[in-house]
Chain A
Amino acid sequence: MLGKLAFRNVRRSARDYLVYFLTMTFVTALMFAFNSLIFTRDIEEMFQVAGLMMALVGLATFFIVLIVAWLINYMVRFMLEKRSREFGIYLLIGMKKKEIARLYQRENILLGICAFLIGMVFGVLLQQVIMAILYSMIRMKYDLHMEFNRDCILMTAACYGGCYLLALLRSKRRFKRMNIRDLMEAQKKNEEVRESHEQRKRWLLPASVLFLGLFAAFIFLGKIQNGGHVLFFLVGIVLVIYLFYIGLSSWLVCYVRRRGNAVYRGQNLFLLRQFSSKLKTMSFTMGTLTALFTVAFLGCTVAMMFSDYQNKILETKFPFDVQINSADTEDDFADELEVIGESAKISEAYPYHIYARIQKGVQGGANGARTDGRIPEESQVNIWLSTHLKTFGRTYLNEDGSPNLKKIAKDSGQGAFYCKYDTYMKLSDYNRLRGMLGYPAVPLGEHEYLIHLKERIREEAGKLKDDITIRGNEGELQFAGYYAEPFSQDGHNGGDYVIVVPDSQEALLTPYYSELAVDIEGEAPFGLGNQLDHIGGPKSRNDTGEDEDIAGHKALPGNICCGSDTIVVMSVENMVRDNLIPEMKYMLSSLIFPCFYIGLVFLCVALTVLSVQQLSDSANYKFRYSVLKKLGMNRQEIGMVILKQLACYYLCPVFLAAVIGGSVSVFMSGKFIFYTGIRTAVINYFGLSFLLFFGIYALYFITTYVSFRRNVEV
C-alpha cells in the first residue's frame, strides 16, 4: 500500500515540480557526458597531459556534487513544507512518523531514479556531442559510437547517489521533530509579513552598492595587490551578496510606507509589496542564487577566453611544420632529418643560425654584469624590453627608474624571458624562412636593419628603434621597419623579437644557436615530436639537465628565451605543429570543459530554485490575483502584472550577479587580452557568456511564466 501511495505521490510531484525533475535529468546527463571525458581510453593513451583533464573535471565534479546536494536538500525541505498538511493527515489517521519518513524518502528516491534513468539516455546523446566537439578540437576523427564505460556509469551513479544521500539524511531529522499541529499550521506561516527595524536595515542597500562601487574601482585601478585585499573583498562580496537583499527589501518597504509617488500609479503598490515581502522571506536563498549565478558567469567567461585563445592565437604560434632548436652551433640536424624523413615526406628543410653580438673580451659579462652602469650593446634590446613592456611592470627597474641591470643579467642567465644576448638573423636566412611561410621577401639596404617581433608587443615596442643603436661595419645601421607576422618567436627565432641585418654584416655576429625549419608534405604523423625528443647523443646536449615540462617535452636548453608570453606558454626544443596544436588544444580543453560544466550546472540549479519557488507559491498567488480580478483587472492586465512580478524576481539576482561577475570578468579578460595578445574587445567574453546565459535563462523564464499563468488563471 505504501509503495502504491509513494508511486502515486511521485507522479503528482513530478508534475508539480517538473522544472526540478527536468533539471535533475539534465544534471545527470551533464554529469555522465563530462565524466566520460575522464574515462576515454583513446585520449588517455594519446596525451601525457590526460591527467590534467581528469584532475580538473574531477575538481569540477566535486563542486557540482556539493551544489546539486544543496539543490536536492533544498527541494526536499521545500516539498516537505508545502506538503506538511498532507503529512499531518497521515499522522492523524495513525501512520507512524517513521513510516511517513520512509514513505517520503521512498518517493524522493523514486523521483531521483526516474530522473537518473532518463538523464542517462540524454547523457549518452550529450556525450556524443561533447566528444565530437573535443575530437574536432584536437583534430581527430570521431565516429559516433555509444560508449558505456562501466567506470563512467558507476562514477555518475555514485556522484548522483552521493548528492541524494547528503540531502536525505537531513530530512529524517526533520520528521522526528514534527507534531500534527505544526504540520497542519505550517502552511499558514508564510503569509505573515514581519517588519522590524526597517528604517535601520534599509541602509544596507546603499552600503552594499557603495561597497560594490569600491570593489569595481579597486579592481579596475589594479589596486588589489596583496592577499589582505583579496580576503577583504572576498569576505565583503559574500556579505554584500546576502545583505543586499535585506537592504533592498527594507528600502522598498520604507518607500511604500513613506508613500512615494510611484505607489499611487497602477498596480505598483501591489508589485512593490509583493516583491519586498518575497525578498524578505527569501533573502538568504536569493543571496545563494546570486553566488551561483556569479560563479556561472565567471566559469563561462573563463571558458570563452580560452576557447577564443584556441581559435585565434594557437594557430599563429606554430608557423612551421617542424622546427628544431639546438644549442650546438655546429649541429647539422642529420639525426632529426632522418627521423622526420622516416615518417613523412620532407619538401623543404632549412638549417640556419641565430646570432648574437658577442664582443671579444667582454664575453660572459653580458647583460649588465659590468658595473659602470652603461647599457651593454650586446643586450640593449633585451634590457629595453625588460624595462619598457607593461608585462614586466617595475620588476626590472630600480627605485629611480633606471634599469636594474643586475637583475636582468641574473634572470636572463637563468633563462626567464630573454636570452643572455640580443638575437640576430641574417637577411638571407630571414627571407628564406619568409618564403617557406609564404610571406613576400623583404628588401633591406646595406646599411639598414629591421626588427621582426610578435604582434602582441608591436605597439608597445614602437619606440624601441629610437633607443637602440645597431652598429655595422661602417657606422650605424638605419632602422628599416617592424614586421609582425607569426614567426615562431617563443624561443626559436628569438624570444619576442629578432633583429635582421644584411648578410654583409656577418663578421660582427657570432653564431648563438642553431635552428632547423622543415616543411613537410601533408600532416606530420602522430608522435613525431616524441620521437624527436628521444634522439639521444651529444647533439641535444642539455645544459640544465633533463628539463621536461608537464607534457613531457624537452625544454629549450641553455639560454631559454621564450619571450614575454604568460598564461599559455609553449616553449619546446622540438616543435611539430601537427602534434603540438592538438595537444595544446586538449590541454586548454581540460580548462574549458570543466568551466562550462560548472557554469551550466550552477546556472540550471539556480534557475530551478527560482522557478520552483515561484510555481509552488502560485496557490497563494491564485488567491491574490483573484482578488485583483474582483477589483476590476482584466486578463491582459493580470498577465502583465504576473510578467512584471516574475521579471523582478528573476532579474534581481541576475542583475547583482552580472555586476559582480561582470566587473571581475571584464578585469580578467583585460588581463588575458593583455598577456596573450588576442585582438578583441574587453567586454567580449563576458558579453558572450551573458548571451549564452540569457538563452538558458529565457527558457526557464518562459516555462515558469506559462505554467504560472496556467496555475493562477481562475
Chain B
Amino acid sequence: MKDYIRVCDVEKYYGSASNVTKAIDRVSFTVAQGEFVGVMGASGSGKTTLLNILSTIDRVTAGHIWYGDTDIAEMKENALAEFRKENLGFVFQDYNLLDTLTIEENIILAMTLHGRGKKEICGRCEEILGVLGIKDIRDKFPYQVSGGQKQRCACARALVNDPRLILADEPTGALDSRSAQTLLETFTDMNRRMRATILMVTHDAFSASYSSRILFLKDGKIFHELIRGSKNRRDFLNEILDVLALTGGEASDAR
C-alpha cells in the first residue's frame, strides 16, 4: 500500500527560550490509505498535540507532514483552511456540534461550506443519516439527543465530504460504555465499508483495541507500536494492556 500520510521528524516546542517544553520530540510514522490507526498515551504524552498538528489546527516547530505530495508544514494559513475543508474530518470528545442547528442541519452545513448544490446535499445527507442510523432524530437539536447520538452525528459530519483522513480525539471520552461500543463499531464499519482512513487518539485501551495499528506515545516520543494483524479483538486488547502494564502507561488501571 502506498504511503498515504507521512510524518517526518516532527517536533513541537512550547514556552520561551528559558523554559522549553518538548510536547513532541522527533516523531516519524506513516499512515496507509484505509488504515485505522490508534494513538495511545498517558495525559501529557503529547497525543493531543500530535493530533492538533496533523489536523492543521496547530503548527509544527520543525519537521514535515506529507499528505500525498503536499507538505502542510509549509502551507500558509488560508491554504491550510482550504486544505482542512477538502481533506479532513473531525470527531471530538465534546462533539463540537453547533447548538443552534439541528442534527441534520449540522451535516448540511458541512456540505454547504463546500459549495455543493442543493440536490447533491439532500441526497448525500439522506444517505449518510441512514448509514449512521440517526434518521429519526434528524430534526432534533443537539441538546435533545444522547451523547452517543451526538457523536454519531459528528461522525456523519466528518464522513459526509469523503475526507482523506478522519481525526478522532477521544471520541468515546464522554460516552457510557454501551454507546462507546456502538460508536466504535461504527468506526470499524466506516473504516471497512467506506474505506475511511481514521486516526484516533485515546487513552482507553478498550477503544484502542478496535484499531488496526496502535502507536504508543510517551513524553513526546513514539516508544512502541502494535499491529493487530489477524488477531481477534480480545487478544489484541490483552496485548495492549500488557504494553501499558509494562510501561506504567495508564498505571493505575494495569496494576
Contact A631 B113 (CB under 8 A): yes
Taking the closest CB of chain A, its distance from the CB of B58, in whole angstroms, is 11
B165 CB-CB contact with A under 8 Å? no
Contact A266 B115 (CB under 8 A): yes
Contact A267 B141 (CB under 8 A): no
Q: How many angstroms from the CA of A634 to the CA of B55 in the assembled complex?
A: 14
Contact B81 A264 (CB under 8 A): no
Q: How many angstroms from the CA of A277 to the CA of B142 in the assembled complex?
A: 14
Contact B78 A635 (CB under 8 A): yes
Taking the closest CB of chain B, its distance from the CB of A417, in whole angstroms, is 63
Q: How many angstroms from the CA of A256 to the CA of B112 in the assembled complex?
A: 13
Within 8 Å CB of A256, what residues of B? 105
Within 8 Å CB of B100, what residues of A? 193, 270, 273-274, 277, 624
Contact A632 B78 (CB under 8 A): no
Taking the closest CB of chain B, its distance from the CB of A267, in whole angstroms, is 7
Interface positions of A from 603 to 653, Cβ below 8 Å from B? 623-624, 626-637
Within 8 Å CB of A624, what residues of B? 98-100
Q: How many angstroms from the CA of A191 to the CA of B99 in the assembled complex?
A: 7
| Contact partner, B118, options A261, A632, A633, Cβ 8 Å | A261
The residue among A257, A268, A628, A634 with the most chain B CB atoms within 10 A of its own CB is: A634
Within 8 Å CB of B139, what residues of A? 257
Interface of A is mostly: helix
| Contact partner, B85, options A257, A259, A265, A632, Cβ 8 Å | A632
Within 8 Å CB of B110, what residues of A? 631
A192 CB-CB contact with B under 8 Å? yes
Within 8 Å CB of B114, what residues of A? 632
Within 8 Å CB of A626, what residues of B? 96
Q: How many angstroms from the CA of A636 to the CA of B80 in the assembled complex?
A: 13
Residue in A closest to B113 when the chains form the complex, CB atoms: A631
Interface positions of B from 81 to 125, Cβ below 8 Å from A? 81-86, 88, 90, 96-101, 105, 108-110, 112-118, 121-122
B77 CB-CB contact with A under 8 Å? yes
Within 8 Å CB of B83, what residues of A? 632
Contact B143 A270 (CB under 8 A): no
| Contact partner, A268, options B88, B90, B112, Cβ 8 Å | B112
Contact B113 A192 (CB under 8 A): no
Q: How many angstroms from the CA of A274 to the CA of B99 in the assembled complex?
A: 9
Within 8 Å CB of A191, what residues of B? 99, 143
Q: How many angstroms from the CA of A630 to the CA of B115 in the assembled complex?
A: 16
A678 CB-CB contact with B under 8 Å? no
| Contact partner, B77, options A264, A632, A635, Cβ 8 Å | A635
Contact B112 A266 (CB under 8 A): yes
A269 CB-CB contact with B under 8 Å? yes
Q: How many angstroms from the CA of A269 to the CA of B111 in the assembled complex?
A: 11
A263 CB-CB contact with B under 8 Å? yes
Within 8 Å CB of A636, what residues of B? 78
Residue in B closest to A269 when the chains form the complex, CB atoms: B109
Residue in B closest to A637 when the chains form the complex, CB atoms: B81
How many residues of chain B are within 8 Å of chain A by beta carbon? 36
Taking the closest CB of chain A, its distance from the CB of B12, in whole angstroms, is 17
Given contacts A630-B90, A634-B78, A635-B78, contact A193 B99 (CB under 8 A): yes
How many residues of chain A are within 8 Å of chain B by beta carbon? 32
Residue in A closest to B121 when the chains form the complex, CB atoms: A264
| Contact partner, B96, options A269, A270, A630, A634, Cβ 8 Å | A630
Contact A267 B105 (CB under 8 A): no
Within 8 Å CB of B96, what residues of A? 623, 626-627, 630
B32 CB-CB contact with A under 8 Å? no
Contact B113 A266 (CB under 8 A): yes
B227 CB-CB contact with A under 8 Å? no
The residue among B77, B86, B101, B115 with the most chain A CB atoms within 10 A of its own CB is: B101
Within 8 Å CB of B99, what residues of A? 191-193, 624
B226 CB-CB contact with A under 8 Å? no
Q: Mark B23-60, 1 if CB is under 8 A from A, else 0.
A: 00000000000000000000000000000000101000
Within 8 Å CB of A627, what residues of B? 96-98
Given contacts A191-B99, A193-B100, A627-B98, contact A634 B82 (CB under 8 A): yes
Residue in B closest to A276 when the chains form the complex, CB atoms: B100
Within 8 Å CB of A270, what residues of B? 98, 100-101, 109
Within 8 Å CB of A267, what residues of B? 109, 112-113
Interface positions of B from 64 to 84, Cβ below 8 Å from A? 77-78, 80-84
Given contacts A193-B100, A632-B113, A635-B78, contact A264 B118 (CB under 8 A): yes
Within 8 Å CB of B82, what residues of A? 632, 634
Within 8 Å CB of A263, what residues of B? 108, 112
Q: How many angstroms from the CA of A256 to the CA of B80 in the assembled complex?
A: 30
Contact B86 A632 (CB under 8 A): yes
Q: How many angstroms from the CA of A575 to the CA of B78 in the assembled complex?
A: 75
Residue in B closest to A257 when the chains form the complex, CB atoms: B139
| Contact partner, A633, options B85, B86, B122, Cβ 8 Å | B85
| Contact partner, B108, options A269, A274, A628, A637, Cβ 8 Å | A269
| Contact partner, A634, options B57, B77, B108, B116, Cβ 8 Å | B77
The residue among A266, A273, A637 with the most chain B CB atoms within 10 A of its own CB is: A273
Contact B101 A273 (CB under 8 A): yes
| Contact partner, A192, options B78, B85, B112, B143, Cβ 8 Å | B143
Residue in A closest to B108 when the chains form the complex, CB atoms: A269
Within 8 Å CB of A265, what residues of B? 112
Within 8 Å CB of B80, what residues of A? 634
Taking the closest CB of chain B, its distance from the CB of A628, in whole angstroms, is 8
Taking the closest CB of chain B, its distance from the CB of A419, in whole angstroms, is 72
Q: How many angstroms from the CA of A630 to the CA of B98 in the assembled complex?
A: 12
Residue in A closest to B142 when the chains form the complex, CB atoms: A191
Q: How many angstroms from the CA of A630 to the CA of B96 in the assembled complex?
A: 10
Residue in A closest to B157 when the chains form the complex, CB atoms: A631
Q: How many angstroms from the CA of A633 to the CA of B86 in the assembled complex?
A: 11
Taking the closest CB of chain A, its distance from the CB of B165, in whole angstroms, is 13
Q: How many angstroms from the CA of A172 to the CA of B82 in the assembled complex?
A: 52
Q: How many angstroms from the CA of A99 to the CA of B98 in the assembled complex?
A: 38
Q: How many angstroms from the CA of A277 to the CA of B108 in the assembled complex?
A: 18
Taking the closest CB of chain B, its distance from the CB of A596, in whole angstroms, is 40
Taking the closest CB of chain A, its distance from the CB of B77, in whole angstroms, is 6
Residue in A closest to B55 when the chains form the complex, CB atoms: A630
Q: How many angstroms from the CA of A274 to the CA of B86 in the assembled complex?
A: 25
Q: How many angstroms from the CA of A269 to the CA of B118 in the assembled complex?
A: 12
Interface positions of A from 188 to 205, Cβ below 8 Å from B? 191-193
Taking the closest CB of chain B, its distance from the CB of A265, in whole angstroms, is 7
Taking the closest CB of chain A, its distance from the CB of B67, in whole angstroms, is 14
Residue in B closest to A256 when the chains form the complex, CB atoms: B105
Q: Mark A290-326, 1 if CB is under 8 A from B, else 0.
A: 0000000000000000000000000000000000000
| Contact partner, A635, options B81, B85, B115, Cβ 8 Å | B81
Taking the closest CB of chain B, its distance from the CB of A102, in whole angstroms, is 36
Contact A633 B113 (CB under 8 A): yes
Within 8 Å CB of B78, what residues of A? 634-636
Interface positions of A from 223 to 268, Cβ below 8 Å from B? 256-257, 259, 261, 263-268
Within 8 Å CB of A631, what residues of B? 84-85, 109-110, 113, 157
Contact A269 B101 (CB under 8 A): yes
Interface positions of B from 171 to 190, Cβ below 8 Å from A? none
Contact B77 A273 (CB under 8 A): no
Q: How many angstroms from the CA of A500 to the CA of B211 in the assembled complex?
A: 109
Residue in A closest to B163 when the chains form the complex, CB atoms: A632
Taking the closest CB of chain B, its distance from the CB of A646, in whole angstroms, is 16
A-B contact pairs, 7 of them (CB 8 A): A261-B118, A264-B108, A266-B113, A266-B115, A270-B100, A624-B98, A629-B81
| CB-based closest 3 A-B pairs | A632-B85, A634-B81, A264-B118
Task: Contacts A263-B112, A274-B100, A632-B86 known; list 10 others, CB within 8 Å.
Answer: A193-B99, A257-B139, A264-B112, A265-B112, A269-B101, A273-B98, A630-B55, A630-B84, A632-B88, A633-B81
